[in-house]
Amino acid sequence: MTHTSRPAVGFIGLGIMGRPMAGHILKGGHPLTVYNRTRSKTAELQALGAAVADSPAGVAARSEILIIMVSDTQDVEQVVAGPQGVLEGIRPGSVVVDMSTIAPGTERALDEALRARGAFLIDAPVSGGDVGARDASLAIMAGGDRKAFELVRPVLALLGRTITYCGPSGSGQLAKLCNQILVSVTLLGVSEALVFARKCGLDPSVMIEAVSGGAAQSWQLTNLGPRIIKRDFAPGFMVDLVQKDLRLVLESCASADVSLPATGLVHQLFGSARAHGSGREGTPSLAKVLERLSGLE
């Protein structure tokens, strides 16, 4: 049932994450308009009552709050500032919420372009992968105008459990890049512990059980460790995408004079995973790179 008192929401990008997220907004009673480059991906939501637009501009014209969930910096630039982009259809007073993970500087530039049209951009990347998207348990990190953030917070609450305002435009992306440093370097530690256990004759499942009650416990160990043991490399979050995120971290390092040796190393190791054909697999396939180095194939 649609309650017209709820702001009309637009959603652009219906991939592994976007489709379930858009579904939660529909269930929350918001009128929803969607757009996706591959139109077939809109069918499921259309059947549930969403309208389908022919372009990002078409979504913007019908939406008070517009969410973007696409893969990379150039995709967001295309959606917002390209031909038939959001800027061509945006209405004054609207808020665009970019939940993709992209370069912080790009978010600042797009925010300025939207402000010139009387609208705002909130950068609100997420952590929690496909499971978090399906369960509406994402961690959301937001940057941008504080009033605009408060305006979209009720919609974000339909998608995530933890919503943190991080500061001015670009701050959400910076928090997300910190998240990617932590998850990647931690996953490297998990992978090394599993390889060490196997090579030295300790059952890796027993190892996880033994250490999970102590200081070594982590989300990566509990959730991804068993998947590595089971050889389940299905993409909850793809290697290609974590590589893109780590590239953004290292680009930001270059401009801010930051030295992150462990992040540089894990970026190289994920590069090996891609070279061995694991780009579209989940991040746990990092373990296969470590196994190759130790002759465990």
- The tens digit of pLDDT for each residue in 67-121 reads 999 999 999 999 999 999 999 999 999 999 999 999 999 999 999 999 999 999 9
Asked if residue 146 and residue 248 are part of one domain, the reply reads no
Q: What is the value of pTM for the model shown? A: 0.93
* Domain stops at, among 143, 169, 195: 169
Q: Find tokens 């059952």 and name the residue.
A: 203
Assess if residue 220 is contained within a domain. Answer: yes
Counting every residue written for the chain, the total comes to: 297
Asked if residue 200 and residue 57 are part of one domain, the reply reads no
Answer yes or no: are the C-beta atoms of 224 and 235 closer than 8 Å. no
Asked if residue 234 and residue 154 are part of one domain, the reply reads no
The CATH number of residue 256's host domain is 1.10.1040.10
How many distinct structural domains can be found in the chain? Answer: 2
Assess if residue 4 is contained within a domain. Answer: no
Is 27 catalytic? The answer is no
Asked if residue 182 and residue 75 are part of one domain, the reply reads no
Assess if residue 3 is contained within a domain. Answer: no
Burial zone of 83 (CB within 10 Å; 0-12 exposed, 13-18 middle, 19+ buried) = exposed
* Catalytic option among 27, 176, 199, 244: 176
* Domain stops at, among 122, 154, 169: 169
Assess if residue 73 is contained within a domain. Answer: yes
Q: Which pLDDT belongs to residue 104?
A: 96
Distance CA 89, CA 75 (A): 17
Whole-number Cα distances in Å, 82 to 85, 110, 120, 244: 5, 11, 17, 21
Asked if residue 97 and residue 22 are part of one domain, the reply reads yes
* Domain stops at, among 169, 201, 222: 169
Asked if residue 124 and residue 227 are part of one domain, the reply reads no
Assess if residue 288 is contained within a domain. Answer: yes
- Domain span at residue 107? 9-169
Mean pLDDT of 238-261: 95
pLDDT interval class at 4 (50, 70, 90): low
pLDDT interval class at 288 (50, 70, 90): very high
Q: Residue 3 pLDDT more than 70?
A: no
Asked if residue 71 and residue 47 are part of one domain, the reply reads yes
